[in-house]
């Protein structure tokens, strides 16, 4: 257990919970390293049938840590982008059911993580956004490919170019999430 991620195993399910809601659960370099270690453990024989990602309080995750992003150089930015792409590709190709149990804010790289999962279960209060256009950056973790495939090019371009948050209800209507549930984690545990 760390101060960034908690894990819980139960009945063939591994729950990965981001636990820094006071700073909106950023997917910092440390968090990426922990996720990489978790995925490596799964490849090395730790068998599970389901992997669920979730956050705490009203925050799923806020994406890449903007303090870390601001310190990147052109060379380190490329490395950082490839690292995130690799991690999301690993999640997308796991031979187990992957679910994002989205309990609140799901922005930027966190949305990329949710898109890499096979299923997305949303709390009614969850909010989704790719804020890059407003920040002068663009996601480098696969969201620009996965989002249009999931919701169509026009809707994806709207999300990317306006950087405006959308509600769980709209996310459901456009196919971004599969289910809206009062308890996203409990509902995710029931999926098969």
Long-range pairs for 65-68: beta carbons < 8 A, 24 or more residues apart: 65/26, 65/27, 65/28, 65/29, 66/26, 66/135, 68/28, 68/29
Q: What is the pLDDT of residues 130-165, one digit of tens each?
A: 988 877 777 779 999 999 999 999 999 999 999 999
Mean pLDDT for 57-81 is: 89
Q: What is the average per-residue pLDDT within 13-35? A: 92
Res. 2: pLDDT tops 70: no
Closest among 32, 27, 133 to 86, alpha carbons compared: 32
% of the chain exceeding 70 in pLDDT: 98
Q: Average pLDDT for residues 11-33, to the nearest whole number? A: 92
pLDDT at 1: 47
Model pLDDT for residues 71-125, shown as the tens digit of each residue? 999 899 889 889 999 999 999 999 999 999 999 999 999 999 999 999 999 999 9
**What pLDDT score does 53 carry?**
98
As a dihedral over the C-alpha atoms of residue 110, residue 185, residue 87, residue 43, rounded to 10 degrees, the angle is: 170
Q: Does residue 163 contact residue 108 with C-beta atoms inside 8 Å?
A: no
- Number of structural domains in the chain: 1
State the CATH number of the domain containing residue 168.
Answer: 3.90.226.10
Predicted confidence at residue 46, as pLDDT, reads 66
- Local confidence band at 30 (pLDDT 50, 70, 90 cut-offs): very high
CA-wise closest residue to 184 among 104, 108, 129: 104
Is pLDDT at 28 greater than 50 in this prediction? yes
For tokens 């599970």, name the residue.
48
Q: Which domain holds residue 185?
A: 5-190
Judge contact between 110 and 176, C-beta under 8 A: no
Instruction: Round to whole Å and give the CA distance between 25 and 14.
Output: 19
The whole-number pLDDT of residue 110 equals 95
Mean predicted lDDT score pLDDT of the chain: 92
The C-alpha R_g of the chain, in whole angstroms, comes to 15
pLDDT in tens, 176-185: 999 999 999 9
């Amino acid at each position: 257990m760390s101060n960034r991620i908690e894990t819980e195993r139960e009945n063939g399910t591994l729950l990965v919970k981001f636990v820094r809601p006071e700073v909106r659960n950023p997917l910092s370099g440390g968090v990426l390293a922990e996720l990489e270690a978790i995925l490596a453990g799964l490849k090395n024989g730790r068998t599970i049938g389901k992997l669920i990602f979730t956050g705490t309080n009203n925050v799923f995750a806020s994406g890449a840590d903007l303090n870390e992003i601001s310190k990147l150089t052109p060379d380190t930015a490329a490395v950082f982008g490839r690292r995130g792409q690799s991690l999301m590709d690993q999640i997308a190709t796991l031979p187990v059911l992957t679910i994002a149990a989205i309990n609140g804010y799901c922005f930027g790289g966190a949305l990329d993580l949710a898109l890499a999962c096979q299923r997305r279960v949303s709390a009614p209060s969850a909010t989704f956004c790719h804020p890059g256009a407003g920040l002068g950056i663009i996601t480098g973790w696969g969201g620009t490919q996965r989002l249009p495939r999931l919701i169509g090019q026009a809707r994806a371009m709207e999300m990317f170019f306006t950087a405006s948050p959308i509600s769980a209800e709209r996310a459901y209507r456009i196919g971004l999430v599969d289910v809206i549930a009062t308890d996203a984690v409990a509902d995710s545990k029931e999926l098969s």
